[in-house]
Amino acid sequence: MEKILKGSPVVSGRAFGVVLKSDLSISFWGGVDPRTGCIVDPRHDLFGRSVAGRVLAFPVGKGSSTGSLILLELTRVELAPAAIVTIHCEPILATGPIVIKHFYGQQIPVMTLSAQDFERLETGQRVIVDAVAGEIRFKIDKKSLS
Amino acid sequence: MDLTPEEQRILAGENGEAARIAMAVLVDLGTVFGAERLIPVAQVHIDTTLYMVDAGVEFAERMAAAGGRFCVPASLNPAAVDLLHPERMRVPADLLENSRRLERAYLSMGAAPTWTCAPYQQGLIPRFGQQIAWAESNAIVFANSVIGARTNRYGDLMDICAAIVGKAPCFGLHLGPQRQADLVIDAAALPHSLRRDPAAYPLLGYVTGELAGDRIPAIVGIPADVPVRALKAFGAAAASSGAVGLFHMIGVTPEAGSLEMCTGGQKMEEIHVVTAEDLAEAAARLSDPDLRRPDLIVVGCPHYSYAEMTTLAGLLDGRRVHPDVACWAFTSRAVYGWMAESGLLRTLTDTGVTVFTDACPLQYPKSAWSFTAALSDSAKFANYCFSQTGLPSAIASLPECVETAVTGRHAPERSIWKRF
């Protein structure tokens, strides 16, 4: 059966991908290597994982003004995440995907979820992020329901 | 958002492609954060100046080529390298060329070549209550808190868009009611001598940022005559350990004549008392405990003012920097010009200090130098040093940094933090 999580679109668009989730905040500057798309902060639980093509889920963005620029570079070298799902979105996190939409004409949809619904996302889930309707859809198999 | 007919024409592309992209970004950002309209800004400080990735060069060059021109005064944050003395910094040719491409793009759009992270010390300084759009975390917090100008914590790329349109979406810290304090930091329990020591302020700022996160702290117990240098170090630290965009210091900063003035009369539920031990613990968190023989001493993060350079020369008092140590001082090219004219530059360089302009001490070309450990008077530098340069580092007071520069030895057990 299909599960639908309702959220708020921050940057509109639709994407399909596999979830990469952390309960820690992410700073794109200093936290993600713009040449490889991998998380390079050794204190982070996603250390070494690539964000490229993933539905990247983390609770809140943090850090320097330069984070928006790193996301633009990841798009330029085709290593950007497919979508971003978060609980609290601040201006620096929103700026990257907004500029990417108007400058490169590409979409990195961004959505916020309630803390409770954010909990339902798991690394490895295949999801559809619909940041037009404000929905994240994924299939749950019957085993996990029981 | 409610756009004026002129704003709608810009969004439709009537003023060219660069203005269209810039307006679309501002409108989208404003829509996300609930802004009802755009407001004119008096000036913009641009942070997208440090060459790091090619997308930054591509964005600046394409906006310039598409007719992008800054319609309000725009100042520039540091470049990655010293643009006036690249050979002194051993800058590789490709890094210099990428920095020059950014320089050409920004100057063609009309920016002032300030190349400094402390734009509030000279040049295009906003006034109290003025709406501005600034990026660079230490500059944002200084403009909001010490001057009382109004800006959100804007990020790279958005700053360029704001300068092209001359406007910003009206939300957050642009609005008076959003500038009230959320919590209180009580510094009154600190020993009087510590509250009068500029060395306490980067650590007090670091602790404040950790407690405040992205909220607005009100700090009580600070002497009314606290020097500007201390406020600058406090803000830079709070904006690196947290996401502080505005602080109120009661009896010091202009929106905080009293606690009631910056809380709107609301009773503050959250009060943190900061002690000398808290500052000592912050110093320990920012310091490698085994650091004894740093070979790089860095001052000027954020860029030193002329007054701070004078203090540095006074502490050196003609003594020479130890031959095993590099002592680097960073400032703007404006301050550098004044130092050259007055003879202060000669005084410092005669002792062995190297003065760099335009650049960021965290971005020097690492492979051209072989440092093993750094010491600095800046909590911001200490916070980012390892992740940006790979060097272990420690924080110390400016007098301690100078003694280490002269003797080549750092003695944390004799630090001022052990004396309180």
With a threshold of 0.90, tell me whether the complex ipTM lies above it: yes
Look at the pTM and tell me if it is higher than 0.90.
yes
Q: Are B208 and B296 in contact (CB under 8 A)?
A: no
Residue B411, amino acid: A
DSSP calls for B128-163:
TT-B-EEBSHHHHHHIIIII--B---B-TTHHHHHH
The verdict on B278 and B342 lying in the same domain is: no
The verdict on B168 and B24 lying in the same domain is: yes
Torsion from C-alpha of A112, A114, A119, A121, nearest 10 degrees: -30
Q: Are A62 and A20 in contact (CB under 8 A)?
A: no
From edge to edge, which strands make up the β-sheet containing A2-6? A2-6, A135-139, A126-130, A14-21, A55-57, A83-86, A110-112, A8-11
The number of beta carbons lying within 10 Å of the beta carbon of residue B413 is 6
The verdict on B358 and B373 lying in the same domain is: yes
Q: Are B410 and B295 in contact (CB under 8 A)?
A: no
Q: In whole numbers, what is the pLDDT of chain A averaged over residues? A: 91
Q: Which of A34, A65, A103 sits opposite B155 (nearest CB)?
A: A65
Q: Which of B25, B52, B153 sits opposite A99 (nearest CB)?
A: B25
The verdict on B226 and B243 lying in the same domain is: yes
Residue corresponding to tokens 């004799």: B414
- Whether the pLDDT of residue A145 is over 70: the answer is no
Tell me, what's the pLDDT at A44?
87
**Residue B263 banded pLDDT, cuts 50, 70, 90:** very high
Which among B239, B261, B284 is the end of a domain?
B284
The pLDDT tens digits for B214-229 are 899 999 999 999 999 9
Give the Cα separation of A129 and B261 in Å (integer).
Answer: 45
B367: domain CATH number?
A: 3.30.499.10
Give the Cα separation of B261 and B378 in Å (integer).
Answer: 31
Chain A residue with the nearest C-alpha to that of B158: A95
Q: Are B141 and B215 in contact (CB under 8 A)?
A: no
Whole domain around residue B95: which residue ranges?
5-177
Q: Check CB contact under 8 Å for B155 and A92.
A: yes
Mean pLDDT of B245-270: 96
Nearest CA among B46, B369, B215 for reference residue B356: B369
The verdict on B200 and B249 lying in the same domain is: yes
The verdict on B228 and B344 lying in the same domain is: no
The verdict on B373 and B387 lying in the same domain is: yes
B contact test, residue of A43, A60, A70, A95 with most B CBs within 10 A: A95
**The total number of structural domains that make up chain B:** 3
What is the enclosing helix (H) or strand (E) of B361?
none
The verdict on B71 and B173 lying in the same domain is: yes
Q: Check CB contact under 8 Å for A69 and B25.
A: no
Q: In whole numbers, what is the pLDDT of chain B averaged over residues? A: 96
The verdict on B309 and B197 lying in the same domain is: no
The verdict on B144 and B184 lying in the same domain is: no
Q: Are B155 and B13 in contact (CB under 8 A)?
A: no
Q: Check CB contact under 8 Å for B28 and A11.
A: yes
The verdict on B170 and B185 lying in the same domain is: no
Residues of chain A with C-beta less than 8 angstroms from the C-beta of B153:
65, 90-92
Q: Which of A12, A64, A68, A144 is catalytic?
A: A64
Pairs across A and B, CB distance < 8 A: 102
A28: domain CATH number?
A: 3.50.30.10
**The total number of structural domains that make up chain A:** 1
Residue corresponding to tokens 């965290």: B362
Residues of chain A with C-beta less than 8 angstroms from the C-beta of B155:
65-69, 91-92, 95-96
Which among B256, B284, B312 is the end of a domain?
B284
Give the Cα separation of B150 and B157 in Å (integer).
Answer: 19
The verdict on B117 and B36 lying in the same domain is: yes
Give the Cα separation of B406 and B298 in Å (integer).
Answer: 13
- Whether the pLDDT of residue B115 is over 80: the answer is yes
**Residue B420 banded pLDDT, cuts 50, 70, 90:** low
Rounded to a whole number, what is the distance in Å from the CA of A108 to chain B's nearest CA?
14
**Residue A143 banded pLDDT, cuts 50, 70, 90:** low
Buried b (16+ CB within 10 A) or exposed e, A81-96: bbbbbbbebbbbbbbb
The pLDDT tens digits for A37-91 are 999 887 789 999 999 999 999 998 766 678 899 999 999 999 999 999 999 988 8
Question: 3-class SS at B285?
Answer: helix
Tell me, what's the pLDDT at A146?
40
Give the Cα separation of B234 and B207 in Å (integer).
Answer: 10
- Whether the pLDDT of residue A1 is over 90: the answer is no
Give the Cα separation of B418 and B143 in Å (integer).
Answer: 34
Whole domain around residue A50: which residue ranges?
2-145
Mean pLDDT of A98-116: 96
B contact test, residue of A69, A104, A107, A110 with most B CBs within 10 A: A69
| Catalytic site includes residue A27 | no
Which among B284, B313, B343 is the end of a domain?
B284
Residue that wins the pLDDT comparison between A28 and B64: B64
What is the enclosing helix (H) or strand (E) of A89?
none
What is the enclosing helix (H) or strand (E) of A138?
strand A135-139
